[in-house]
Structure 1
Amino acid sequence: MERVGHGDKDAFTVLYDAVAAMVFGIAVKVVRDRAQSEEVAQEVMIDLWRQAARYHPEQGTVRTWVAMIAHRRAVDRVRSAQASANREYANAVRDQPTPFDEVAEQVETRLDSEQVRRCLRGLTELQRQAVTLAYYQGLTYREVADALRSPLPTIKTRMRDGLIRLRDCMGVTT
């Protein structure tokens, strides 16, 4: 390892022959894909060439140090692949249009409108006028009172009673 750390290509050849099969075996066990494992093994061998000077015999054998580097590199590859797959899935899901049934939406809107009209017919004429002015023409209670020439408290009472009857008719629960 010391000679490899000083750039000795012959020493690296000996190291390669001694550990390449082990490195590939670790990669296959972790990555579980032959092509990816080959890439991981190649990256590990390049790392060994570049990092040989960092090896310290007092911290363990060469095989243990190489196995640790191989395992870490293989785990990194698996994590990277999983993160990439997660991103692709998230992008695919985000890009999918949400299902929307336009016909069903129109039918539901039409049925709701018919129910509102039916319920409005169940109000007294004064209640219907007040609700229509406030909710369909956007008038304030004061403006409704002026339009109907009625005192504001009377309009408030008509509105409250009319809205309660609409709520009950529509089947809305509070």
Structure 2
Amino acid sequence: MEPIRPTPSGAPAPEAGAPEAPDLGQLLKLSGRGDESAFARLYDAMAARVFGLAVRVVRDRAQAEEVVQESFLEIWRTSGRFDPDRGSAVAWLLTIVHRRAVDRVRSAEASSRRDTTYHDRNQPVAHDATAEAAQASLEARRVRGALASLTDAQRQAIELAYFGGYTHTEVASMLDLPVGTAKTRIRDGLIRLRDEMGVGAS
């Protein structure tokens, strides 16, 4: 089957070897109206990037492929909700993918915990290990609560940089932002997290 190629009308033909980048926001809008051709073009434009993010988060290619499928299914179902006034199409798409990937990691961790529960319950546990586990659980709840206090823009940047493992330059590219703006969002988000968690407070 021949790959689907965008054929924008009324636009000058791009130079050979440099195809014109599709308007992702427009493709999302058309997809929201049930345009399968537009969705296929959206998939072609973003599949590699989506897979790259999924692999970075779940760190397993087979799991990442499933995340990609689940993500594009959600994108197809919810594309009509995309609002360009609230952020770029790339940021909206990658936020869905990141959330799906994180859910997959959490699900795998929960499954692993269930599989090892019996073993853990029948092993002597040192007091220090128990205390450390309790402290880690408390810290995780504090971090989740603090993240909820951030703006959407700050939370997207923080999650990509610190949970996704991306550099400032990569975060800027994913969110369609200047590098300086991405750094500012990350910095402001970290300051707000610090304040919410009381880190460094006197």
TM-score under structure 1 length normalisation: 0.53
Structure 1 residues 97 and 62: CA distance shift in structure 2, 3 A: closer
Corresponding residue of 2:43: 16
CA distance in 2, matches of 1:44, 1:32: 16
1:43 to 47, 70, 95: 70
Aligned amino acid, residue 14 of structure 1: R
Between Structure 1 and Structure 2, the one with more helix by share is 1
Corresponding residue of 2:84: 57
Find out whether 1:28 has 2:84 as its counterpart. no
Find out whether 1:89 has 2:116 as its counterpart. yes
Give the SS at the match of 1:7.
coil
TM-fit CA distance, 1:87? 1.1
2:103 to 76, 95, 102: 76
TM-fit CA distance, 1:91? 2.9
Rg larger in structure: 1
Give the SS at the match of 1:14.
helix
Deviations 1:120-164 (A, max 9, x none): xxxxxxxxxxxxxxxxxxxxxxxxxxxxxxxxxxxxxxxxxxxxx
Cα root mean square deviation, aligned = 1.6
Aligned structure 1 segments of 4 or more residues deviating by more than 6 angstroms: none
Aligned amino acid, residue 71 of structure 1: H
Structure 1 residues 97 and 78: CA distance shift in structure 2, 3 A: closer
Instruction: State the number of aligned residues.
Output: 97
The unaligned stretches of length 5 or more in structure 2 are 1-27, 125-202
1:2 to 17, 23, 29: 29
TM-score under structure 2 length normalisation: 0.46
TM-fit CA distance, 1:97? 9.7
Taking only the aligned residue pairs, the percentage that are identical comes to 52
Give the SS at the match of 2:105.
helix
TM-fit CA distance, 1:92? 3.7
Deviations 1:64-119 (A, max 9, x none): 1011111111011101101110111003444x699xxxxxxxxxxxxxxxxxxxxx
The unaligned stretches of length 5 or more in structure 1 are 99-174
Aligned amino acid, residue 10 of structure 1: S
